Copies of this chain bind each other. A is one copy, B any other.
Amino acid sequence: MTTSRRQYLVVRPVYSEDRFSEDHQRVHRRRTTLWDHVKHYCTCDSKRLKNATLSALPFIGWMRIYRLKEWLPGDLVAGISTGMVAIMQGLAFSLLAGLPPSYGLYTAFFPMLTYFFLGTSRHISIGSFPVLSLMLGAVVTRLVPDTGPPANITGFDELSKEHQRVLVASSITFLMGVIQLAMGLLQAGFMVVYLSDTLVSGFTTAAAVHIVVSQLKFVLGLEVPGLTGPLSIIYTLESIFGQISSTNICDLVTSLIIMVVVFVVKEINDRYKAKLPVPIPIEVIMTIIACGVSYGFNFEERFEVAVVGKMVSGYESPIAPSVQVFQEGAVETFAIAIVGFSVAFSVAKVYAIRNDYIIDGNQELIAFGVSNIFGATFRSFAASTALSRTAVQESSGGKTQVAGLISALMAMIVTVALGFLLEPLPRSVLGALVVVNLKGMLLQVRDVPYLWTRDKPDCVVWTVTCLASILLGLDLGLAVGVGVELLTVVFRAQFPRCSVLANITGTDLYRDRKDYTSMYEPKGVKIFRIPSPLFFANIDFFRDKLSEAVGFNPLRVLRKRNKALRKTGKLLEKTRSRVTESEVKDSDVRTVQTTWTSELPRVDIHSTVQTTWTSELPRVDIHSTVQTTWTSELPRVDIHSLILDFGAVSFLDISAIKGLKTTLKEFLRVDVQVYVVACDECILEKLHSCMFFDEEIQSSLFFPTLHDAVLTVLEKHPSPPVFSGTRM
């Protein structure tokens, strides 16, 4: 030990928790009760009212600080760039949802109008999101399949297949909005914390796989029935490969060209991000070219290419949602509502941190809820945000949702006036554009080896979520993923690495006794560390590990001892009777025995017969045969003190408290003194309130530190001095 180092020198009395509280009075603190919270929540004054208004209509906040000269140009440019992307994505993603392309334009317009006033994020671009469109598409194709009759829903007979689908989509979107709004009003925004990065990564990768598969039919120009439900991806692939020979070559070639060009240009955009003032809008360029070529060469008739076709010009009248559709698709809609919100929220959070403003989960839920309800009324479908589009909006200079409003106006212009220009666009082009944009999502697969080397449970969560979402469908997969994720938390807490500690010679530190060489373990003392919370699922595990560590099961010892005591008593009685009344017959001995038996309850656990169990032989003087059974049957208890390190026990539930109490009692009854150290004050309070303490288990067992407990034990059971390095 070099002298240059500062010394750690402490002189103070040895404390148990009881002594500590004698010396140091606790301040009585009034805890805020539920009632206080309610009162606080219900209080109303002008300031709170103002704050409530501001938080309900966040646009007032940023409108007041809007710097017209500085921000408007950026918002304008960003709005136009985002608008073009939004139009393209709207067309493409409505195919995912199983709807005619023009409805995607509605989705780029209506939800934005309300989000502008209600949303707290200033950067996300509201509109279609591929994963959401796909989940919606699953419900749509289930209720209105490509082939076969639609679900039995009132009023369906009068509608064309297309209008049936629009009705289903808008009803589901309406319900999704209602769910989001309700969750927002119930302050349920906190639930996004359960969608961890790992889970979202696995889930979106699976979604990307689904999207690729769903776009294959457009890319190859095939007719594939829309399938849903568990394992539908397998059946879809089966159907595609079954008719692979009838691929439309024109579609395939167009798609491949588009994919390669877009891919390369996107790489260039990425690489020269710093030098380009604005990324090259390659999707827009390719779409315009494709439109022109398709129109010029009349792809539709010459190569039988499926094109976008007749666009709805202008807006349609509002539509009332169908309650029957609500009933049919409630479960999926719940998943859609949660996924839609949580993706948008996590994207919004990234930009909020980057641009230093605060977003509010509950207000976002309300904003998305209202936007979806409003949008659904005007036939737009499930709105959230797409990461790519938001990136465009922010990187091209968008400062506020004014940019979003401008992009919505662009979508409106196309809907009202320029829609006819997009009519000759082949659907395969839209499919190709969707697929090529999935690169990032699919590359998340690289998380798997990363997670595997770092944290196996997280890797399991990723893999299970991804596989379940691919095979069972996105809604069920998400549920399975969340379940597994919550299970990992339980698992991590459930199987801790318990260890036996010993003193690092010359210090007041204690470490696993197997890890270091210069350790001092006082004779007859076991120090057991529980490195996790204790609850119903691991209390038995903990008891087993403790028995293993001390080398005996206290309950078994107790039972054997009681049995031995009974036997000894019987034999003792027998011997006495032989000595004193040597002529007594067998039958009489039995009577004597019976007397003993009826008296037995006295010699039970709280036995008054004092025997030194730790010595090899009991003090009571008996036959040598008894001695043999005694020593052979009884497990040795070679410790006198057990110290439990509770430093890492962050909570206890009722089962754990019961189990702990039993364990402590068992040890105390086999004459092992138990000490509990470093117990958190909250847990001590809880033990008090749960009537943990009684005659046997007293609060004097509790010590603030391990060293305090060991010093106390050493005082009670002096042993040869080994702490020579330190003065103790």
In the complex, are the beta carbons of A11 and B726 less than 8 A apart? yes
Residue from the set A8, A14, A492, A704 with the largest chain B CB neighbour count within 10 Å: A8
Kindly list chain B residues whose C-beta atoms are within 8 Å of the C-beta of A537: 193-194, 196, 489
- Nearest residue, chain B, Cβ from A540: B193
A128 beta carbon closer than 8 Å to chain B: no
Which A490-514 residues have a C-beta within 8 angstroms of B? 490, 492-494, 496-497, 504, 506-509, 511-512, 514
Interface string of A191-210 (1 = CB under 8 A from B): 00110111100000000000
**Mostly helix, strand, loop or mixed at chain A's interface?**
mixed
A6 beta carbon closer than 8 Å to chain B: yes
The CA-CA distance from A535 to B455 in the complex, in Å, is 12
A457 to chain B, nearest CB (A): 7
A508 and B10 in contact, given A198-B536, A486-B490, A536-B485 (Cβ under 8 angstroms): yes
A5 beta carbon closer than 8 Å to chain B: yes
Which A1-35 residues have a C-beta within 8 angstroms of B? 1-2, 5-15, 19-20, 23-27, 29
Interface string of A677-721 (1 = CB under 8 A from B): 010111000100111000000000000110110011001000000
The CA-CA distance from A497 to B32 in the complex, in Å, is 13
The CA-CA distance from A727 to B454 in the complex, in Å, is 44
The CA-CA distance from A26 to B504 in the complex, in Å, is 11
A16 to chain B, nearest CB (A): 10
In the complex, are the beta carbons of A15 and B10 less than 8 A apart? no
Picked from B10, B26, B356, the residue with its CB within 8 Å of the CB of A707 is B10
Instruction: Tell me the number of copies of this protein.
Output: 2
A441 beta carbon closer than 8 Å to chain B: no
Residue from the set A11, A511, A535, A647 with the largest chain B CB neighbour count within 10 Å: A11
In the complex, are the beta carbons of B11 and A8 less than 8 A apart? yes
Interface string of A538-550 (1 = CB under 8 A from B): 1011000000000
Kindly list chain B residues whose C-beta atoms are within 8 Å of the C-beta of A531: 650, 680, 682
Q: How large is the interface on A (under 10, 10 to 19, 20 to 34, 35 or more residues)?
A: 35 or more
A25 and B517 in contact, given A511-B681, A512-B681, A727-B9 (Cβ under 8 angstroms): yes
Kindly list chain B residues whose C-beta atoms are within 8 Å of the C-beta of A353: 555
Segment from A51-59, A365-373, A380-388, A651-659 that makes contact with B: A651-659
A451 and B517 in contact, given A489-B490, A680-B648, A682-B531 (Cβ under 8 angstroms): no
A694 to chain B, nearest CB (A): 15
The CA-CA distance from A486 to B486 in the complex, in Å, is 7
The CA-CA distance from A515 to B2 in the complex, in Å, is 38
A597 to chain B, nearest CB (A): 13
Kindly list chain B residues whose C-beta atoms are within 8 Å of the C-beta of A492: 533, 535, 650-651, 653
A651 and B493 in contact, given A515-B29, A536-B196, A690-B455 (Cβ under 8 angstroms): yes
The CA-CA distance from A658 to B493 in the complex, in Å, is 20
In the complex, are the beta carbons of B25 and A536 less than 8 A apart? no
A708 to chain B, nearest CB (A): 6
In the complex, are the beta carbons of A7 and B14 less than 8 A apart? yes
Kindly list chain B residues whose C-beta atoms are within 8 Å of the C-beta of A654: 197-198, 451, 454-455, 458
The CA-CA distance from A536 to B192 in the complex, in Å, is 10
Picked from B20, B489, B516, the residue with its CB within 8 Å of the CB of A24 is B516
A559 beta carbon closer than 8 Å to chain B: yes
In the complex, are the beta carbons of A24 and B518 less than 8 A apart? yes
In the complex, are the beta carbons of B13 and A650 less than 8 A apart? no
Which A573-591 residues have a C-beta within 8 angstroms of B? none
A709 to chain B, nearest CB (A): 11
In the complex, are the beta carbons of A496 and B650 less than 8 A apart? yes
The CA-CA distance from A184 to B454 in the complex, in Å, is 32
In the complex, are the beta carbons of B193 and A515 less than 8 A apart? no
Kindly list chain B residues whose C-beta atoms are within 8 Å of the C-beta of A648: 647-650, 680
Picked from B7, B356, B535, the residue with its CB within 8 Å of the CB of A11 is B7
Interface string of A609-630 (1 = CB under 8 A from B): 0000000000000000000000
In the complex, are the beta carbons of B653 and A515 less than 8 A apart? no
In the complex, are the beta carbons of B487 and A707 less than 8 A apart? no
In the complex, are the beta carbons of A493 and B489 less than 8 A apart? yes
Kindly list chain B residues whose C-beta atoms are within 8 Å of the C-beta of A125: none
In the complex, are the beta carbons of A689 and B9 less than 8 A apart? no
The CA-CA distance from A515 to B512 in the complex, in Å, is 32
In the complex, are the beta carbons of B653 and A458 less than 8 A apart? yes
In the complex, are the beta carbons of A13 and B6 less than 8 A apart? yes
A488 beta carbon closer than 8 Å to chain B: yes
A515 and B455 in contact, given A12-B508, A509-B705 (Cβ under 8 angstroms): no
Which A401-453 residues have a C-beta within 8 angstroms of B? 451, 453
The CA-CA distance from A194 to B539 in the complex, in Å, is 11
In the complex, are the beta carbons of B454 and A689 less than 8 A apart? yes
The CA-CA distance from A556 to B704 in the complex, in Å, is 38
A728 beta carbon closer than 8 Å to chain B: yes
In the complex, are the beta carbons of A655 and B6 less than 8 A apart? no
Kindly list chain B residues whose C-beta atoms are within 8 Å of the C-beta of A6: 13-14, 711-712, 715
A170 beta carbon closer than 8 Å to chain B: no
Picked from B9, B515, B680, the residue with its CB within 8 Å of the CB of A26 is B515
The CA-CA distance from A490 to B191 in the complex, in Å, is 12
Picked from B1, B12, B516, B647, the residue with its CB within 8 Å of the CB of A8 is B12
A342 beta carbon closer than 8 Å to chain B: no
Which A446-480 residues have a C-beta within 8 angstroms of B? 451, 453-455, 457-458
Kindly list chain B residues whose C-beta atoms are within 8 Å of the C-beta of A455: 653-654, 657, 686, 690
Picked from B2, B9, B497, the residue with its CB within 8 Å of the CB of A10 is B9
A532 beta carbon closer than 8 Å to chain B: yes
The CA-CA distance from A196 to B537 in the complex, in Å, is 7
Kindly list chain B residues whose C-beta atoms are within 8 Å of the C-beta of A504: 24
A sample of 18 inter-chain contacts (CB < 8 A) reads: A5-B13, A7-B12, A11-B727, A12-B508, A24-B516, A24-B518, A27-B517, A193-B494, A196-B536, A196-B537, A197-B655, A197-B658, A198-B536, A453-B689, A490-B490, A492-B535, A531-B680, A648-B680
Closest 10 CB pairs of A and B: A196-B536, A532-B650, A5-B13, A492-B651, A458-B654, A10-B508, A454-B690, A648-B650, A6-B14, A193-B537
20 extra A-B contacts, CB within 8 A, seeds A193-B494, A455-B653: A6-B715, A7-B14, A9-B10, A9-B726, A9-B727, A26-B516, A27-B515, A29-B514, A197-B655, A453-B689, A454-B689, A486-B487, A489-B490, A493-B493, A493-B533, A496-B650, A509-B704, A647-B648, A647-B678, A648-B650
